[in-house]
Structure formats: C-alpha cells, structure tokens
Amino acid sequence: MKISVSDIKPEGSEVKCQISNEIIGKTEVLEFIEPVKVIAKVERIDEEVIAETVVSGRYSAVCSRCLEEFEQLWEKNFLIGIEIDRRTEYIDLGEEIRQEVILNLPTKVLCDKDCKGLCPNCGKNLNNEKCKCSSMS
C-alpha cells in the first residue's frame, strides 16, 4: 500500500486497499480467511503523515474455552504516524498496518461471551449437551 506523498491533498485523502491474509499470517489462536480491508484517511502535517485507519476482516479462530472452531468479523481503528522529510516520495502504509494488526489481535478468543466451555470432568462441550457431572456435585 504505497502512497505518493505528493498525492496527499491538503485537506487529506482517503485511500482504500486490501492486505492479503497470507501477508498478515496467523497467530496461535486465529487466522484470517479473507483479505483484510483497509480504509485510511491520510493527512500530511509538516514532517509527518498521519493515517486514521479502519481495518476489518473475517477470521477463523479456536475458542479458548470450548475449543470449537468458529468465524468472526474483526474490526479495529488505528492511528498511524509516519515521519517523512523533504525527500520522501512514497510511504508504505501496508507494512505499518500489518504490524499494528498483529500487535492488536486478541490472544484469547471466545466463540460467544457466554460460552459454557468444556466440562472439566468428562470433557463434553457444554454448549451442545449437558453432562451428568454437574448434577452430581
């Protein structure tokens, strides 16, 4: 996502792009299943380019509680600042965004905030069925 500094309008420019999910890579708990969409409002302020960025994409993840696989839409806003000088012709927002995305991805995900998880006794997924363990205790 290269942006020519001279193309940035005085009032700011809006740029859109997609980052391939393969470039983002995967973490221990999730993996994007489609390209990540980026909308950025780019503004030049003296020796800096500021990008107000909205990133969204759908990922496949493994629930930290019940270990079921599920898909979820993820969206996040970032404010990215890139320092430039007089000779800077292009900035590469893509790499900056990729780093922000990786830093901000959750390390634990739940299929549902009320996910009941697995029974610690028999290992059954309590979202799908009731086991007899709880009635005994």
In 24-113 the beta strands, taken as DSSP E runs, fall at 30-32, 36-45, 48-62, 69-83, 90-92
5 versus 119: smaller Cβ distance to Zn ion: 119
Task: Give the whole-angstrom CA distance, residue 72 versus residue 37.
Answer: 15
- Of the two residues 68 and 100, which places its CB atom closer to Zn ion in the complex? 68
Asked if residue 131 binds Zn ion (CB under 5 A), the reply is yes
Per CB under 5 A, which region of 13-21, 26-34, 75-83, 104-112 contacts Zn ion?
Answer: 104-112
Region near Zn ion per CB under 5 A, out of 8-16, 21-29, 83-91, 106-114: 106-114
Tell me, what amino acid is at 63? C
| Cα 9 to Cα 115: distance, rounded to the nearest angstrom | 48
Q: Which residues contact 2 (CB under 8 A, 6 or more apart)?
A: 90, 91, 92, 93, 94
Q: Is 109 in the site for Zn ion (CB under 5 A)?
A: no
Q: Please select the residue that binds Zn ion; options are 19, 40, 105, 115, rule is CB under 5 A.
A: 115
Instruction: Please tell me whether residue 66 binds Zn ion under the rule CB under 5 A.
Output: yes
73 bridge partner residues: 58
Residue 50 has phi, psi (to 5 degrees) of: -105, 130
**Contact between 29 and Zn ion (CB under 5 A)?**
no
Considering only 3, 30, 42, 111, the residue that binds Zn ion (CB under 5 A) is 111
Interaction site with Zn ion (CB under 5 A): 63, 65-66, 111, 115, 119, 121-122, 131, 133
